[in-house]
Structure 1
Amino acid sequence: MDSRIFYGVISLLIISAVPVFAQESLISVQTDDKNYDEGDTIVISGLVTTVVGETPVTLQLFTEGNLVDIAQITVAQDGTYSHTVIAEGPLWNKAGDYLVRVLYGEGNIAESEFSYTPKSEVVETTTNFEVDAGSHGTFDVEYTIKGGTVKDMIVDADIFALIVQIDSTDEGKIDLDLPREFIGAEKQDGKDDTFIVLIDGVEVPYQESVVHSDSRVITINFEQGDSDIEIIGTYIVPEFGTIAMMILLVGIMATVILTRNRFQIKI
């Protein structure tokens, strides 16, 4: 065999044996959540590692292969980009997985997915929960919850709190109609004060949309995985508050008596 042919074959074998690595994409993409309901704002953002002039990012949004949205996004000097989409309109009528695809320049593609639920399929429950107040009987709390279910409501007399235990399958919210007769937050002059609301031990804000003479309606937003919501006021079942105050007074009186006795013994 001709030596030139032999070495040529060997060279081709060596070249074919060298692995070919795919070019790393210059762009990334993500959404600020993985689950959205109709009307939500979807924030899509990412990073371009090498900015090429004024080349924009092309965004495409698909569901089941159908184009839902398309946009051209300007890239900042540091390579970041961001775009918001409102999940509503005639094209947002199907529940399921949605694909976000971004393209930058030639051959640079990144993708991300999220799930979407139209209002017609959002599960929202409104009912009453009978709260056990021990020897003081029970009282009802009306609530509406979206994104989860209520497992239990418990009175914690030590901290004047109503603890709402939930199973949150998604981010959502709960509206609680709190009867003033059993739980409230009041100032010394009897006017309404703010509640302290904790979710899994972390203080969170809440909204108060309706104020009745006999109840207060508050709305609390929660995240997927949250479990315990504590609503702390200045009293929880008035009898509990009275008992707690009596125990406190007895403790103070006992301390005073002991202090006086020790003082008299020393004399």
Structure 2
Amino acid sequence: MEFRIFYALLPLLIISTGTTFAQESLLSIETDDNNYDEGDTIVIFGNVNTIIGETPVLVQIIHEGAIIEIAQITVGQDGTFTKIIIAEGGVWKKGGEYTIRAFYQEHVAESTFSFIPKSEAIEITTNFEVDAGSKGTFDVKYTIRGGAVKNMIVDSEMFELIVQIDAIDEGMITLDLPREFIGAEKQDGKDEKFIILIDGIEALHQESVVGSDSRVITINFEQEDSDIEIIGTYVVPEFSTIAVMILIVGIMATIAMTRNKIQIKI
């Protein structure tokens, strides 16, 4: 008799469990990143599978049991919703894990992210000794947040300084570049903008201080970025006279070979 009751209730248990999973999947919410610093833009987005009239999605941002942000978001015709929040102001004071909770009728969805205020952000300021070949070494003062500097390498052929970093999070690096060893100048001697590449892709930078002895630039990077190339018009050790002559001969030989190929084709 007991076995018959169990088997009779089993389909109901399966149906009940399936209904629970279906309800949980009716509403979803997430953010465009898992880690934010003070002042960052948080993009919240999600989806409603079944639209109920003009019912909005209620979103709360919660930290340590306290609601620090609340908003009603209109659901689009395709069931999606989006909200942009700037992580700054009086309520964004404490670091740690934050919860985003969305409500749509009886449905609830959650997501989490980490937040670091400026007061808790770890910045490292120090000097890195760069090998300049026959010129010896020179120091580059830098400040980095969100990662660590692994190495700095001079590439004299490309007139660049390569800064290799371990980016554990989004961050920034400020470099004090000594003019004696690296610079970007026009033909008239005036300053030219540096070209910045991050993992081979051109990136923006800010130049905050221009002094007679150095130039200070700030570069933002993303998590897992690795190589930052700072390209100027000169860097030490510069090409030696012999190296320049070899380079010129190589270029002339290439031009001559190209001309010969054209003549043969004609």
Q: TM-score, normalised by structure 1?
A: 0.83
Aligned counterpart, 2:9: 16
Q: Give matches, 1:116-195, under 5 Å.
A: 116-195=115-194
Distance in 1 (CA, whole Å) between partners of 2:254 and 2:123 is: 53
RMSD: 2.6
Structure index of larger Rg? 1
Relative distance call for 1:241 and 1:45 in structure 2 (3 A) is farther
Q: CA deviation at 1:13?
A: 4.5
- Amino acid in the other structure paired with 1:43: V
Report how far residue 211 of structure 1 moved. Answer: 2.2
Give how far 1:224 is off.
1.3
Q: Residue in 2 aligned with 1:36?
A: 36
Aligned twin of 2:218 = 219
Secondary structure at 1:120 match in 2: coil
* Count of residues in correspondence between the two structures: 249
Contact preservation (8 Å) 1:153, 1:162: yes
User: What does 1:71-150 align with in structure 2 at a 5 Å threshold?
Assistant: 71-105=71-105, 107-150=106-149
Tell me how far apart the structure 2 counterparts of residues 26 and 117 of structure 1 sit (CA, whole Å): 32
Give 5+ residue unaligned stretches, structure 1.
Answer: 1-5, 257-267
Query: 1:29 Cα deviation (Å)?
Result: 1.0
1:131 shift after superposition: 0.9
Identity of aligned residues (%): 65
Amino acid at match of 1:168: A
Could you tell me which residue of structure 2 aligns to residue 50 of structure 1? 50
Q: Which residue of 2 aligns with 1:205?
A: 204
Decide which moves more: 63-72 or 132-141. Answer: 63-72
Q: Which range moves more in the overlay, 244-253 or 73-82?
A: 244-253
Q: What is the alpha-carbon distance in structure 2 between the residues aligned to residue 39 and residue 218 of structure 1?
A: 20
Match of 1:17, SS state, is helix
* Preserved CA contact (<8 Å) 2:184 2:191: yes
Say if 2:156 and 2:237, in contact at 8 Å, map to a contact too. Answer: no
Q: Partners of 1:217 and 1:184 in 2: how far apart?
A: 11
Which runs of 5 or more structure 2 residues have no equivalent in the other structure? 256-266
* Inter-CA distance 146–140: structure 2 relative to 1 (3 Å threshold): same
